[in-house]
Structure 1
Amino acid sequence: MKRTKLFPLLVLPLALAASGVQADNNRGFFAGVGASAINVDDSPSFDKANLWMGEVFGGYKFNPWLGGEIRYGTGLGDEKLYLEQPLEDLVTAAGEEVLMDIDNYTAIYYRAEAVNQTGRFYALLGYADVEFTMKGAGTSATLSEDDFSWGLGAGFIIRPRLNLNFEYRNLVDVNEYRFTTITTSLDYRF
């Protein structure tokens, strides 16, 4: 795990937790930070890659049911993969070991949610772009995939302005690559 990338992601939730002022969870600006476990599947070339990513996000709720948000994430480490067949973008052979790392991702979402006094259920519909690097046998290739993105989540109000969220997202599913995430995040309502 890259500690220099992890430190800023831990500072924001601690600062937000220190605040204790009343807020409206139904509308207004929000910002947050989260950690994701990413599963990358490229079925012809390798079985699966399991990576970690940190992310920050911000958005605006227009009313209790509708909002929008943008997200940015970066990888927190790489994973070794054993290729079942060569990758086009790398000079590799089947059975070779390569390293995969998420460079970053950006996404924009329409957020529909239902809120009560203890929590929320929400759906994300939008567009995401993922950049990742594959390294092997003295060569490397930076690849980018973008596509429609969707997710489902549940959030719990732990303080008047602070929410704890758990979500599943189909980040990108294009060509042979499928990126899915399980995310835990904190968000702060302004």
Structure 2
Amino acid sequence: MERWQVSNVSNFAKDAVGIGIFNICGEARHPPNVPNPHSPNQETSHHELSEMPELGAFYDRTSELKTLTTSILQQNSRLITITGGLGIGKTSLAIQLVQQIKDEFEYVIWCNLDTSPTLGEFEANLIQFFSQSDKQDSPTTNQKALPLIKYLQKHRCLVVLDDIHNLFSSGELAGKYKPGYEEYRSLFKQIEKLSHQS
């Protein structure tokens, strides 16, 4: 099972995103916690967690949480995928993680992809959230909406995509997008390659 999972994960990362460093949660082998130099001002943080499910039963995942927290806060990983079989607690792990680290970000948004939005719809929703929050912070300026990647560069953002499997063809090799959703590949590559603090 482990070889199969590594094979599928490797195929997904290679074909869909090309992640440079990929960790499967296990024994954490990272440097000790270091204070985060990017801590945002608590007064300017914006959270949109209305799509985040309530945390149900959560079983001890201390090492996985530590690995994810270190990857995000200390190693500044830009793109992380949590994979595994149906019902093993991926969403619960992500919920617990968000609850622990959300104060380290100016913007935190949970997006559930169970409705399979097109890339245009997805980006429009995020841009609307970011631009409305910007206007609240600076009501006197008439700010124009920016491309999504510009918000990720301008602000420290945590964006969680739940049910991402809805973008991919079932019964196919990992990383094969459904027709009409192939543009997500370029978004993921932008997030991975371009310089930003999210």
Which range, TM-score by smaller chain?
under 0.3
Structure label with greater radius of gyration: 1
Greater share of strand residues, 1 or 2? 1
Greater share of helix residues, 1 or 2? 2
Q: Please report the TM-score for the alignment, with normalisation by the length of structure 1.
A: 0.22
Q: Please report the TM-score for the alignment, with normalisation by the length of structure 2.
A: 0.21
